[in-house]
Amino acid sequence: MSDILERLEAVLDERRHADPQSSYVASLHHKGLNKILEKVGEEATEALLAAKDAETGGEAERHALVAETADLWFHSLVMLSHLDISHRAVLEELARRFGMSGLDEKAARQ
């Protein structure tokens, strides 16, 4: 399970030059960055609406939020791939921030 991002990234990179008729990812790359960003925005909105439903809902609503978050992560990975940025850079940034209080980091910026 833990290597799914590595495996998915390899597929996404391979699909950049695939036939848009036979691959959803290839069709996104073919349509260009604006289409990919439109999908990221759409999935972000769907995820936040699902989060509101999950706050008061049951297992079905919680599962729907997991599915919408997966859609958002997936389309974000396509965005990064389109711009030649590996998900590893994001993981490294999170690792760099690990243990650093968000409040301390904000104070250091001011």
Ligand X SMILES: N=c1c2ncn([C@@H]3O[C@H](COP(=O)(O)OP(=O)(O)OP(=O)(O)O)[C@@H](O)[C@H]3O)c2ncn1[C@@H]1O[C@H](COP(=O)(O)O)[C@@H](O)[C@H]1O
* CA–CA separation, 108 and 19 (whole Å): 48
Q: Is 15 in the site for ligand X (CB under 6 A)?
A: yes
In the set 23, 69, 76, 86, which binds ligand X (CB under 6 A)? 23
DSSP string, 4-67: HHHHHHHHHHHHTTS-TTT-HHHHHHHH-HHHHHHHHHHHHHHHHHHHHHHHH--HHHHHHHHH
Q: Is 24 in the site for ligand X (CB under 6 A)?
A: yes
Nearest distance in Å: CB 4, ligand X? 9
Nearest distance in Å: CB 88, ligand X? 18
The number of beta carbons lying within 10 Å of the beta carbon of residue 50 is: 22
Considering only the stretches 23-31, 55-63, 85-93, 98-106, report the one whose residues sit in contact with ligand X under the rule CB under 6 A. 23-31
Considering only the stretches 24-32, 55-63, 80-88, 91-99, report the one whose residues sit in contact with ligand X under the rule CB under 6 A. 24-32
Q: Is 74 in the site for ligand X (CB under 6 A)?
A: yes
* CA–CA separation, 13 and 23 (whole Å): 12
Q: Which residues bind ligand X (CB under 6 A)?
A: 8, 11, 15, 23-26, 71, 74
